[in-house]
Amino acid sequence: MNPAALPLLDQALLVLAAMALFTAFALLAQTRLTAAIHTFAWQGALVAAVAALTGRASGDAHLYVSALITLALKVALIPWMLHRLVRRLALERQADPLEHPALTLLAGAGIVVFSDWVAEPVAHFDASATRNVIAISLAIVLLGMLMMVVRRQAVAQVLGFMAMENGLFLAAVASTHGMPLVVELGVAFDVLVAMVLFGVFFLQIKNSIDSLDIDRLSQLAEPVEDDDVRGDAP
Amino acid sequence: MIALLLTVFTPLAGMLLLGALRSARVAGWLNLALCALSLAGALWLAADVLAHGAVAGASFRVDALSVYLVVLTALVGLTTAIFSRPYMRYVHEERRVTRGGLRLYHSMYQGFLFTMLLALTTDNLGILWVAVEGATLATVLLVSLYRTPAAIEAAWKYFILCGVGIAQALFGTVTLYFAAQHALADPAANGLSWSALYAVAPQLEPRVMSVAFVFLLVGYGTKVGLVPLHSWLPDAHSEGPTPMSAVLSGLLLNVALYAVVRMKMLTDAALAGSATPDLAGHLLMGFGLVSFLVAAISLQRRRDIKRLFSYSSIEHMGLMTFGFGVGGPLATFAALLHMLVHALTKSAIFITVGHATHISRTQRIDRIRGLIRTQPAVGWGLLIGVAAIAGFPPFGIFTSEFLLLSATMHAWPWLTIPLMIGLVVAFAGLFRSVQPMVFGAAPPGQYPVRANMLPVIMQLALVLLLGIALPGLLAHWLDQATQLITGRHLL
Amino acid sequence: MDHFLSPLAHALSALLQPLLLLTVAPLLVAWIRRVKARLQNRRGASLLQPYRDLRKLFAKEAVVARTASPLFRVAPYLVFAATLVAAGALPLLSLRLPSAAVADAIAVIGLLGLARFLLVLAGLDAGTPFGGMGSSREMLVSTFAEPALLLVVFTLAMTAHSTNLASMAQTTLHAGLVLRPSYLFALAALLLVAIAECGRIPVDNPATHLELTMIHEGMLLEYSGRHLALMEWAAQLKLALFAVLIVDLFLPWGIAAGFAPGALARAALALALKLGALGALLAVAETALAKMRLFRVPGFLNLAFMLALLGLLSHVILEAAT
């Protein structure tokens, strides 16, 4: 799809989606927690902007509502909660460097190619200008997953989880102009509850191992022979 | 419709009520009463559906398949609640859980039942997703209820893995909705309605549906505990409170599998005329068989009794998935029956295991000894339960496994070999661990505890009954569900 | 019409464009310094200061170390020449470039690579520790920067269907305002690469040769007199070259299509404005940023590479015609 043949609104959509993809990479590479939370908020803002612009282009009023929900949840509320937690747990200065940054980023690029390949039959089937954003959104989902795999820090893993949600929302907006409102509300509710639970977990993890480094949660990850030896618990 | 509302929304009201209730003693009883009320609603609903066909309205739709699982869910919910009342009081007396934790437990127990019942009765695939994700959210704090580092780790793993998995399912749902937009006249109104989609399934674009199904299978398959996405399951089962293990194994896995089966029905219908009409079935068979075999091998030399039985759950879920994958009336009938008997047996076993760990004050298999001498009821309960789960005649699991094997023999003869081997290996692993626990010499100072074996006896008796003679009503019911899934009657 | 332009005029313009760039290059540097000074509440030196510096250096005697080989003497002329030839491949005021046959982006990168190679050899030649350190660091930077630069060119070439700079600019001009994600990423990547290639903050600090972490200045430490003047001038030309490259590829508006005097004047004005803006932008960035430690430079350039790669991927995914 040559952008020159598209109206300016659709061009802007493509640019915003591509920028959201870039924020997914930035999240992956970002070592400082506070900066990562900012990046996440930017990603939320970009995704919300895509939703609003799609609403403008297609005339679906409920997309504005979705954009507002995303804005409230992913740009304001969740980053705020994360910042508060980070402050409360004294993690502001915590850096969580990647073990193999170049390898991780290359894996990320591989994910983008893979997503394009997976989404090809879906995109092929649709004639709309934004069909290729489906591949981008799948890439954001999978990059969030990659982030959860390579990051050892609980807060960073949560950011990966939330970035996946952003990708899913983008997928819904790009491919189908959003899910039915009742489903979106349900999803938003689930995300919110999940965030609250994550907060509870941070405190529990911090209390039990005095760190938020998930690698130190390794009691259950011993070799097979020892893996179920544990305290005397009923 | 009233029956439906009674069934589904009693737990929701219960969740709020129990969240506000301070008295732990009353909470236990109230929990039980709410479950009983929900079961009554479920039975009423079942009678309704069996007499007049599917009940539908306002994004709810209950047909023979879902009402079957609704009754099962409500039943296991009730029996586990009977067990959980004294058990949680004991845990509380041991100071392993605070008063607030107990309140959370009771509230979330109902919340979990609500999400399960909602997932089973909704017609909207988006709400199905929300409900299954809600089930994770409701149970994740219960897994970490004891606040030990291991419990928190298990809960974190459960949360993250299921979160990642279920996100794939949402992507699949979005893709499905995308396919629906091109097939339905008014997608915004009913684009995610399963029944509306099923009606137009042949018009759904096959390639898009294949992509959607793969994502949905990975997503809900994580919740089913299919290998290689199963690693949360043993941890969550072993670290959470025992009643939680019983409902996770008995209910959550079934509901996730139900979601997979619903998606398979759609995909099969959409792919009927394409180049790969059996894609969904083959994927299910592959995942099911691998899960079955890996879990059977993992059953060997376990050291934690609850992990042992959670691997057994993976094994049986694999078997059911395989059965649904084989397709055809006989295999589907067998898989449906297996869902029922496995849920009943496994929750009975977990209840017994709860008592056993109470007696010996440990979950380590090598320290649980001589149950049959210390407390014959518990010892016999465990022995009979394991005999049932291992597929001994005359228990119901034997029947369903036998049906499944004969269906496999018919459709894929050479696949019966790995199935047989897996069953023998699983049997050996289970009995090697269980035999000394039941018959070994009891260590000194081991005393019987106050055990409530009523639910165990009830459930095992039911499994036995199903094995000896399948009641005509149930057979007819299962046949209706089979007809829904495969389009053909078995009987 | 300029179709009938004589071969002589053609050749003249081929010579004039790079010479013009050569002439204004010190001015651009002076402008950046001036803006920076103003941002730091200083008055700053005159805009002619770099010219005076060059004149002073040319007048001075060149001192050459006893250990230096002939390469050390030849290198400044070669570096200067290679950079100048590279500059000749860029459309500056007019798209009708006489050197169009060789005016290829990859050729430009190759010529710059050649200049760098000679510079690095010269830095090693004298055998001083600072020269060796500067050279090895320069190679480190180029290892990361050059692939990114090539990737940027490829990304843009996929849209323009050419690596010829004039026709790439022509394509952008012709399409009008089109928002392309790939261009956005490529621009960001090119900006980062240009900063690294030209030794600006945060990769290298051009204002001092007193830091232990210097790169470019380290290699020039043994040079003096006209040799140093040529090296400095080449560096200034390189900065101007990258600025013009960015302008040509992403903001070609205003450039003349032929050799009509009016259009050329307009093009000169537009170019001056665009270069001035870019220079000011660089000055602001240099004021706001601190120089990063050397071991973080690969990370910085990895980002550039990543951006370029994303540009390529987003072209394939979002813009490829299917």
Do A193 and B126 lie within an 8 Å CB cutoff? no
Place of tokens 């030309």: C237
pLDDT, residue B258, reads 94
pLDDT, residue A78, reads 93
Do C184 and A15 lie within an 8 Å CB cutoff? yes
| Main-chain dihedrals φ then ψ at residue B58, nearest 5 degrees | 50, 60
Cross-chain CB nearest to A205 (options B150, B152, B303): B152
Classify B445 as helix, strand or coil: coil
ipTM value for the complex: 0.89
Cα–Cα distance for residue pair B321/B305, rounded to 1 Å: 25
pLDDT, residue A222, reads 44
pLDDT, residue C297, reads 87
The pair of structure tokens assigned to B106 is 């009771």
The mean per-residue pLDDT over the stretch B291-301 comes to 92
Do B148 and A126 lie within an 8 Å CB cutoff? no
Looking at the complex, does the CB of residue B237 fall below 8 Å from at least one CB of chain A?
Answer: no
pLDDT at B67 over 80: yes
Place of tokens 């030196």: C45
Higher pLDDT, B52 or B352: B352
Taking Cα atoms as reference points, which of B71, B165, B169 lies closest to residue B120? Answer: B71
Q: State pLDDT tens for residues B300-356.
A: 888 889 999 999 999 999 999 999 999 889 999 999 999 999 999 998 999 999 889
Looking at the complex, does the CB of residue A218 fall below 8 Å from at least one CB of chain C?
Answer: no
In the chain, the amino acid numbered B184 is L
pLDDT at B263 over 70: yes
Percent of chain B with pLDDT over 70: 100
A26 min Cα distance to partner chain C (Å):
9
The answer to whether B339 and B254 are in contact (CB under 8 A) is: yes
Looking at the complex, does the CB of residue A157 fall below 8 Å from at least one CB of chain B?
Answer: yes
pLDDT, residue A232, reads 40
Q: Which helix (H) or strand (E) holds B158?
A: helix B149-181
Cα–Cα distance for residue pair B113/C152, rounded to 1 Å: 56
Taking Cα atoms as reference points, which of B384, B237, B366 lies closest to residue B312? Answer: B237
Q: State pLDDT tens for residues C186-196.
A: 999 999 999 99
Q: What domain count does chain C have?
A: 1
Contacts of A161 in chain B (CB under 8 A): 160, 163-164, 167
C81 min Cα distance to partner chain A (Å):
36
Would you mind telling me the total number of residues written for chain C in this entry? 322
pLDDT, residue A1, reads 57
Cα–Cα distance for residue pair B78/B420, rounded to 1 Å: 34
Cα first-last separation, chain C: 40
pLDDT at A19 over 90: yes
Query: Which residues span the domain enclosing C197?
Result: 2-319
Strands B55-57 and B60-62: antiparallel
| Beta-carbon contacts of residue B349 (< 8 Å; ≥ 6 apart) | B309, B382, B385, B386, B389
Q: Which chains touch A (3 or more CB pairs under 8 A)?
A: B, C
Residue B487: Cβ within 10 Å count? 11
Confidence label for A58 from pLDDT (cuts 50, 70 and 90): confident
Cross-chain CB nearest to A18 (options C176, C185, C322): C185
CB pairs under 8 A between A and C: 74
Would you mind telling me the total number of residues written for chain A in this entry? 234
CB-hemisphere CA count at 13 Å for C14?
15
Cα–Cα distance for residue pair A32/A91, rounded to 1 Å: 10
Count helices and strands (H / E) in chain C: 11, 0
The pair of structure tokens assigned to B365 is 């298999």
Q: Which chains touch B (3 or more CB pairs under 8 A)?
A: A
Taking Cα atoms as reference points, which of C77, C78, C49 lies closest to residue C62? Answer: C77
Do B156 and A201 lie within an 8 Å CB cutoff? yes
Cα–Cα distance for residue pair A195/A82, rounded to 1 Å: 9
Q: Which of A127-141, A143-157, C86-100 reaches the highest mean pLDDT?
A: A143-157
Do A190 and B159 lie within an 8 Å CB cutoff? no
| Beta-carbon contacts of residue A142 (< 8 Å; ≥ 6 apart) | A111, A114, A115, A167
Do C306 and A12 lie within an 8 Å CB cutoff? no
Q: How far is CA B428 from CA B238, B418, B421, C69, in A?
A: 21, 15, 11, 82
- Output b/e per residue, B206-243; b: 16+ Cβ within 10 A: bbbbbbbbbbbbbbbbbbbbbbebbbbbbbbbbbbbbb
The pair of structure tokens assigned to C201 is 């903050």
Q: State pLDDT tens for residues A106-121.
A: 899 999 999 988 888 7
| Main-chain dihedrals φ then ψ at residue C86, nearest 5 degrees | -60, -40
- DSSP secondary structure string, B299-336? TTT--BHHHHHHHHHHHHHHHHHHHHHH-HHHHHHHHH
Cα–Cα distance for residue pair B165/B219, rounded to 1 Å: 4
Q: How far is CA C313 from CA A73, A113, C158, C321, in A?
A: 30, 7, 11, 14
Q: Which of A2, A120, A125 to mutate to test the interface with C (most CBs of C within 10 A)?
A: A2
Contacts of B134 in chain A (CB under 8 A): 190, 193
| Adjacent-strand bridge partners of B55 | B62
Contacts of A12 in chain C (CB under 8 A): 179
Higher pLDDT, B44 or A174: B44
Do A230 and B364 lie within an 8 Å CB cutoff? yes
Strand positions, DSSP E, B268-364: none
Contacts of A15 in chain C (CB under 8 A): 179-181, 184
Taking Cα atoms as reference points, which of A4, A47, A60 lies closest to residue A165? Answer: A47
- Output b/e per residue, B34-60; b: 16+ Cβ within 10 A: bbbbbbbbbbebbebbeeeebbeeebb
Cα–Cα distance for residue pair B486/B65, rounded to 1 Å: 12
Contacts of C176 in chain A (CB under 8 A): 4
Taking Cα atoms as reference points, which of B251, B248, B223, B241 lies closest to residue B75? Answer: B251
| Adjacent-strand bridge partners of B122 | B60
User: DSSP character for B193?
Assistant: B
Q: Which helix (H) or strand (E) holds B62?
A: strand B60-62
Contacts of C316 in chain A (CB under 8 A): 116
pLDDT, residue C76, reads 94
- Cα C217 to chain centroid distance, Å, stands at 17
Cα–Cα distance for residue pair C16/B439, rounded to 1 Å: 101
The pair of structure tokens assigned to A39 is 């990046």
| Span of A2-11, B194-203, B227-236, B350-359 with lowest mean pLDDT | A2-11
- Which residue of chain B comes nearest to A196, CA vs CA? B137
pLDDT at A122 over 80: no
- Output b/e per residue, B341-376; b: 16+ Cβ within 10 A: bbbbbbbbbbbbbbbbbbbbebbbbeebbbbbebbe
A35 min Cα distance to partner chain B (Å):
22
| Adjacent-strand bridge partners of B316 | none
Do A15 and C306 lie within an 8 Å CB cutoff? no
pTM (2 decimals)?
A: 0.89
Cα–Cα distance for residue pair B81/C42, rounded to 1 Å: 79
Contacts of B91 in chain A (CB under 8 A): 234
pLDDT, residue A3, reads 72
Count helices and strands (H / E) in chain A: 8, 0
Cα–Cα distance for residue pair C61/C46, rounded to 1 Å: 25
Q: Which helix (H) or strand (E) holds B60?
A: strand B60-62
Cα–Cα distance for residue pair C18/C8, rounded to 1 Å: 16
Taking Cα atoms as reference points, which of C201, C171, C190, C172 lies closest to residue C287? Answer: C201
Cα–Cα distance for residue pair B65/B54, rounded to 1 Å: 10
| Beta-carbon contacts of residue B440 (< 8 Å; ≥ 6 apart) | B369, B370
Cα–Cα distance for residue pair B298/B291, rounded to 1 Å: 10
The pair of structure tokens assigned to C74 is 């030849």
The answer to whether C119 and C75 are in contact (CB under 8 A) is: yes
Do A135 and C317 lie within an 8 Å CB cutoff? yes
The pair of structure tokens assigned to A220 is 């259950």
Do A230 and B238 lie within an 8 Å CB cutoff? yes
Classify B364 as helix, strand or coil: strand
pLDDT, residue A103, reads 86
Q: Interhelix angle for B232-239 vs B125-143, to 10°?
A: 50
pLDDT, residue C321, reads 58
Chain A residues 98-127 within an 8 A CB cutoff of chain B:
118-119, 121-122, 124-126
Do B163 and A194 lie within an 8 Å CB cutoff? yes
Q: State pLDDT tens for residues B246-262.
A: 888 888 999 999 999 99
pLDDT, residue B240, reads 86
Q: State pLDDT tens for residues B131-178.
A: 999 998 888 888 888 888 888 888 988 998 898 888 999 999 998 988
| Beta-carbon contacts of residue B102 (< 8 Å; ≥ 6 apart) | B24, B27, B88, B92
Residues in chain C predicted with pLDDT less than 50, given as ranges, are 1-2
